[in-house]
A = this chain, B = another copy of it.
Amino acid sequence: MTADPRLPARFPYGGDWCPEQWPAEVREADLDALQAIGVNTVTLGVFVWTQLHPAPGVYDLSLLEEIIEPVRRRGMQIVLATPTGAHPAWMARTQEVTRVDDQGRRRLFGVRHNSCPTSPAFRAAAAEIAGRIAERFGDLEGLVAWHIGNEYSGLCYCGSCAAAFRVWLQRKYGTIEELNRRWYTLFWNHTMTSFEDIVPPSALSEHWNGPAYTAFQIITLDYRRFQSEALLECFRLEKEAIRRHSPDVPVTANFMGFYKDIDYRRWAEDLDIISWDNYPRIGHGPARVALAHDLMRGLAPGKPLWLMEQTPSQTAWRPDNPLQEPGLLRLRTWQAIAHGADATLFFQMRASRGASEKFHGAILNHAARTDTRVVREVAQIGAEVAAARELAGTRPRNRVAVCVDWDAWWSLEMSDGPTRRVVYVDEIARFHEDLFDRGIGVDVVSPDADLAGYALILAPVLFVAGPERAANLARAVAAGAHLVTGFLSGRVDEDDQAPILDVPGHLAALCGVRVDETDSQVEGVTREIRWADGTITSADTVFDLVTPVDAEVRAAYADGFYAGSAAVTVREAGPGRVWYVGARLDAAGLRQLWDEVLGAPALAGIAAPRRPGLEQVERCRADASAPSYRFLLAHDGEHEVVLEEPATDLLSGQALPAGMRMRLAAPEVRVLRTAGDRT
Contacts and interface: CB of A to CB of B under 8 A. Distances in A.
Given A197-B90, A500-B367, A105 B104 contact: yes
A275 interface: no
Contacts of A215: 110-112, 355-356
A246 to B, nearest CB: 22
Interface of A: 18, 20-21, 47-51, 54-55, 83, 85-90, 92-93, 103-112, 183-184, 186-194, 196-199, 201-206, 208, 214-218, 282, 313-323, 325-326, 351-360, 365-369, 372-374, 415-421, 491-492, 495-503, 516-523, 541, 561
**A contact face: mostly helix, strand, loop, or mixed:** loop
A186 B20 CA distance: 7
A660 to B, nearest CB: 30
7 contacts: A83-B189, A90-B197, A110-B206, A111-B188, A320-B419, A357-B416, A366-B501
4 nearest A-B pairs in the assembled complex, by CB-CB distance: A184-B354, A110-B205, A316-B417, A359-B417
Contacts of A523: 320
B110 A316 contact: no
Contacts of A105: 103-104, 203-204
Contacts of A197: 89-90, 92-93, 109
A578 to B, nearest CB: 20
Contact of A21 (B187, B201, B521): B187
A305 to B, nearest CB: 27
Contacts of A83: 189
A184 B353 contact: yes
A502 B366 CA distance: 7
Contact of A93 (B18, B109, B196, B319): B196
B500 A354 contact: no
A122 to B, nearest CB: 13
A166 to B, nearest CB: 12
A218 B358 CA distance: 12
A521 B188 contact: no
Contacts of A90: 193-194, 197
Contacts of A47: 186-189
Contacts of A217: 354-356
A320 B499 contact: no
A10 to B, nearest CB: 29
A517 B191 CA distance: 59
B199 A110 contact: yes
B190 A355 contact: yes
Nearest to A54: B193
B188 A86 contact: yes
